Structure 1
């Protein structure tokens, strides 16, 4: 009897302990369309894949059920396995006319470097799109930014391809508008484009979306296997080549949303690239959420990407200590100044990248030839002010000063141009141009004898 009572007492104590012992909390990533959506984390923090702040889960069943229900979907028109339509190439970005929740079209950028699709908060307010809570993200030049979570988004591409996602977010895009002198209203990211084979013909400015189930590549280019950085961004092997140095093995991370190519801070520091590349020029890069990265532009001997050697490319060397460019694993952010020399085919289902060279593969990379670092202001983003000057450059020799406003080049009013187009006008090394300048209430003309500064 004593033995039986002792057993009952011990069992009761065990039940009491179970009842009073706290159940360990578990956490999960807010839905973003990445593989991390199905991962359970034992403590709070940020998702190691997409960087979003982890949220507490009710139980493991909640995570398992989410994994069974895709966060996004994409559908082709009946009877079609692929569709092709034109895009605008603006400052090397791919812009599409997208309908959002049945309204539009609005200018959206195709961005392989975004883990989810984004609607500009400016458009969300205009359309009355409600957000349900907030999360954080990271981008160029920012440690993090606050994003509103959108419960349901629907998109319609040209030619009738439709998509929906529960991973959408709302972030301010206003910091990106000055470069292109127009309002762009969002990104189409990995959560949506992972469901198709994406073919970008930069030369013809045509985008083709293929159904992966029926897609077969018939070309002659080599298929390059990739892994997914952060569970969303294609990443391939390659090399950075600096004159007089052993080639540096690196990872190239594909980013169609980036106009240029950037080498992240850990790589720059580990290989002392600032000291080895020679002359550099100041530059700035803006990201979603209002972040600004302070960079320098340099010319390398070459980059090796798959089977291709890209000679004398211009790249940005970053020094960010926060944000995506501070990542130890991102490597080289491969942007469209290089990608546009190819037809780019991204096959997410087979994890392979195909680069077909076009007629521009061996075009030279033109550097600034003026020494002017400009910013665009006013409501139309077409008022150009001198932000900074490169020492001993055509601009300083012509007497230009920070704060001067440029109004025309060779008599052509600059209110006809976006900032990126003005920058291209100032790359014509070996020529001269007449700048119309305003300084306070004074107006004068300055002659710039343009020469390549890199």
Structure 2
């Protein structure tokens, strides 16, 4: 488990195309309400920009799932569900993913009956990974069982109110006043695509075709331009961008001067540039330029209307939040078995953390003399992104000893 988590601190949930060709997938039902009910609303939890919802499966739960526009069929990442739900008639399948590895093994089930709020679905196809390669629970600090995507968004008009962590969903055709600026959407391979305008020093103003992926915690990822690697800025830094279904994804991180989403303009946006062979060269991704993630999407309250091929955006209280990258050079994850514990998974080269002597596998005990047991993942992330030049005291446990280190945060991009 520990070695898998080395790839997680900047999770890139760009999930594979799954070739589901059996009748269960072709005839999948949609979520619906019983009786005359037409709408519902639930609260969600947000960690590292990801939307976490409670889902009941086959009458059991709730299980925490990430609500993710970037996936098609449901993906179950926690294999313990196979036994606890007594799933049978599992068919072995192969999944092609993004990353340096090869195909991975999974199972296909058509025995899933799910419930979210008061909406239910039966005979929903789901891919069940034989191994939890994402380690989502460590990344968000609470147990995550999988990803819920197209089957939910395709069933309703879905409103994500990021500002107050509220999920509203109603049946298409229901009388509802839709507020926000309309952005045209194309649904391709069960995922929403939009066009945005970006301005870079290398290419000038470019219209980019992006998959809308609120299950990716980054702001924006640019993969390809005219079937070549998208040019990164000269001051970009090398980085581990996360993990795909087939392994780690490497690349660089820089800034784009301007990103235009409809009439909204965002400046100095943190941008990921995956290595071309790891991501863009995958044949099933051709025809798109990149991925629009939750660090941008969470700055809006968004309505997704798949049936109407549109999404509607209204800026919220997070809109003017500056885009910041980690200034410490520490990538970390959380384990919670008997108690909450934080570990360093990776140290970026030439970073304040490397210069201070911190190392992978160090357990973080305190930050600025506050025990990490009293901090959340979001708290620590905010500290490490807080202010250029700010001193941060960190104590770690290593090989039986407690070490105290001082790092000075540095804005590297």
TM-score by length of 1: 0.78
Q: Report the Cα distance in structure 2 between the residues aligned to 1:244 and 1:434, rounded to whole angstroms.
A: 39
- Once the two structures are TM-superposed, the CA of residue 319 in structure 1 deviates from its matched residue by 0.9
- Once the two structures are TM-superposed, the CA of residue 334 in structure 1 deviates from its matched residue by 1.1
- Once the two structures are TM-superposed, the CA of residue 338 in structure 1 deviates from its matched residue by 0.5
Task: Tell me which of 149, 170, 192 is aligned to 2:152.
Answer: 192
Task: Tell me which of 59, 78, 88 is aligned to 1:130.
Answer: 88
- Once the two structures are TM-superposed, the CA of residue 181 in structure 1 deviates from its matched residue by 2.3
- Once the two structures are TM-superposed, the CA of residue 119 in structure 1 deviates from its matched residue by 2.6
Classify the secondary structure of the residue corresponding to 1:72: coil
- Once the two structures are TM-superposed, the CA of residue 186 in structure 1 deviates from its matched residue by 1.7
Q: Report the Cα distance in structure 2 between the residues aligned to 1:109 and 1:360, rounded to whole angstroms.
A: 21
**2:58 counterpart of 1:101:** yes
Given the superposition, is the C-alpha separation of residues 54 and 448 from structure 1 closer, same or farther in structure 2, using an over 3 Å criterion?
same
Given the superposition, is the C-alpha separation of residues 89 and 401 from structure 1 closer, same or farther in structure 2, using an over 3 Å criterion?
closer
Residue aligning to 1:209: 169
**2:228 counterpart of 1:261:** no
Given the superposition, is the C-alpha separation of residues 184 and 320 from structure 1 closer, same or farther in structure 2, using an over 3 Å criterion?
farther
- Once the two structures are TM-superposed, the CA of residue 235 in structure 1 deviates from its matched residue by 0.5
Q: What number of residue pairs does the alignment pair up?
A: 390
Q: Report the Cα distance in structure 1 between the residues aligned to 2:358 and 2:305, rounded to whole angstroms.
A: 49
Q: Report the Cα distance in structure 1 between the residues aligned to 2:261 and 2:219, rounded to whole angstroms.
A: 12
**Higher mean C-alpha deviation, range 394-403 or range 305-314:** 394-403
Residue aligning to 2:11: none
In the alignment, is the contact (CA less than 8 A) between 2:220 and 2:270 conserved in 1? no
In the alignment, is the contact (CA less than 8 A) between 2:88 and 2:111 conserved in 1? no
- Once the two structures are TM-superposed, the CA of residue 417 in structure 1 deviates from its matched residue by 4.2
In the alignment, is the contact (CA less than 8 A) between 1:165 and 1:191 conserved in 2? no
Residue aligning to 2:33: 76
Post-superposition Cα deviations, 1:357-387, rounded to whole Å, max 9, x if no partner, equal 1122121012212122335557567231252
Given the superposition, is the C-alpha separation of residues 54 and 157 from structure 1 closer, same or farther in structure 2, using an over 3 Å criterion?
closer
Q: Report the Cα distance in structure 2 between the residues aligned to 1:347 and 1:278, rounded to whole angstroms.
A: 39
Classify the secondary structure of the residue corresponding to 2:31: strand
Residue aligning to 2:237: 280
Residue aligning to 1:52: 19
In the alignment, is the contact (CA less than 8 A) between 1:372 and 1:389 conserved in 2? yes
Classify the secondary structure of the residue corresponding to 1:191: helix
In the alignment, is the contact (CA less than 8 A) between 2:329 and 2:354 conserved in 1? yes
Q: Which structure is higher in helix share?
A: 1
Q: Report the Cα distance in structure 2 between the residues aligned to 1:302 and 1:139, rounded to whole angstroms.
A: 30
Given the superposition, is the C-alpha separation of residues 360 and 383 from structure 1 closer, same or farther in structure 2, using an over 3 Å criterion?
closer
What are the within-5 Å matches in structure 2 for residues 149-164 of structure 1? 149-158=108-117, 160-164=118-122
Given the superposition, is the C-alpha separation of residues 272 and 252 from structure 1 closer, same or farther in structure 2, using an over 3 Å criterion?
closer
What are the within-5 Å matches in structure 2 for residues 282-301 of structure 1? 282-287=239-244, 289=245, 291-301=247-257
Task: Tell me which of 362, 369, 372 is aligned to 1:411.
Answer: 369
Q: Report the Cα distance in structure 2 between the residues aligned to 1:261 and 1:267, rounded to whole angstroms.
A: 18
Residue aligning to 1:30: none
Residue aligning to 1:18: none
Q: Which structure is higher in strand share?
A: 2
- Gap regions ≥5 residues in structure 1: 1-48, 56-62
Residue aligning to 2:287: 329
- Once the two structures are TM-superposed, the CA of residue 200 in structure 1 deviates from its matched residue by 0.4
Post-superposition Cα deviations, 1:139-191, rounded to whole Å, max 9, x if no partner, equal 44254322211122111112x11122432221244522221122211222212
In the alignment, is the contact (CA less than 8 A) between 2:52 and 2:65 conserved in 1? yes
In the alignment, is the contact (CA less than 8 A) between 1:264 and 1:330 conserved in 2? no
Residue aligning to 1:313: 269
Task: Tell me which of 357, 373, 382 is aligned to 2:341.
Answer: 382
**Higher mean C-alpha deviation, range 345-354 or range 122-131:** 122-131
In the alignment, is the contact (CA less than 8 A) between 2:330 and 2:344 conserved in 1? no
**2:216 counterpart of 1:249:** no
Higher relative contact order (CA 8 A, sep 6+): 2
What are the within-5 Å matches in structure 2 for residues 141-156 of structure 1? 141=99, 142-156=101-115
- Gap regions ≥5 residues in structure 2: 1-15
**2:45 counterpart of 1:88:** yes
Which protein is bigger by CA-based radius of gyration?
1
Residue aligning to 1:447: 406
**2:72 counterpart of 1:112:** no
Q: Report the Cα distance in structure 1 between the residues aligned to 2:400 and 2:222, rounded to whole angstroms.
A: 43
Q: CA RMSD in A?
A: 2.8
- Once the two structures are TM-superposed, the CA of residue 248 in structure 1 deviates from its matched residue by 2.0
